[in-house]
A and B are shown apart, each in its own frame.
Chain A
Amino acid sequence: NAGVTQTPKFQVLKTGQSMTLQCAQDMNHNSMYWYRQDPGMGLRLIYYSASEGTTDKGEVPNGYNVSRLNKREFSLRLESAAPSQTSVYFCASIRTLAGGPSYNEQFFGPGTRLTVL
């Protein structure tokens, strides 16, 4: 199993450009998450998807959109990138039980390092 994979690993954008960060997991997990981490800070939740076909806002959703394409894939889109979105982006997934989240561990991808000039 590859676990949680993210593409690209690095990206440099100019202000106003758009891009999509891709995330996929091969563990048959129901729930997926997008976080951002600024230098010297902890991770902050951007959006999450509790199950295929559903998405919800986290702590810092402004400037982002997400798509839960299928059970495996959860993408994060920046429609008009801003320098404030320079960060490391982590995707994560977790197996859930019927009726709600389980208390299993959350698996994280290696991150995408995004710089917006």
Chain B
Amino acid sequence: DAKTTQPPSMDCAEGRAANLPCNHSTISGNEYVYWYRQIHSQGPQYIIHGLKNNETNEMASLIITEDRKSSTLILPHATLRDTAVYYCIVRGNTGKLIFGQGTTLQVKP
């Protein structure tokens, strides 16, 4: 499974969009991009996943570049409750999730 690179930390103002980048330059054709987040050392929570098309659900949007070497998770209107560690994971057909250190997003009032 491919590795990912994320910035260690980011800040975002409450009510604004939070854009979290992820590089996965070694991704292969059958590997999906997943995003999870972890709040206060709780169990990780699934956010969204995608293969090559952009995806949107009630929580977030996922933008994947055409070459699939990078992606961006967008939280359209960040709230204080979105403060968490966000993990970008590339997952293949083994079903295993390989976590990196993630991005700590701090939403500020």
Contacts and interface: CB of A to CB of B under 8 A. Distances in A.
B42 A42 contact: no
Interface residues of A, number: 30
Interface residues of B, number: 21
Nearest to B49: A103
Main secondary structure of the interface of A (DSSP, over half): strand
Interface in B61-109: 87, 91, 93-102
Q: Pick the most buried of B91, B93, B95, B102: most chain A CB atoms within 10 A of its CB.
A: B95
B108 to A, nearest CB: 21
Contacts, number: 57
A45 B96 CA distance: 8
Contacts of A105: 46, 49
A31 B95 contact: yes
Contacts of B91: 103
A111 B43 contact: yes
Contacts of B46: 105-107
Interface of A: 4, 31, 33, 35, 37, 40-45, 48, 50, 58-59, 88, 90, 92, 94, 96, 100-101, 103, 105-111
Interface of B: 32, 36, 41-46, 49, 87, 91, 93-102
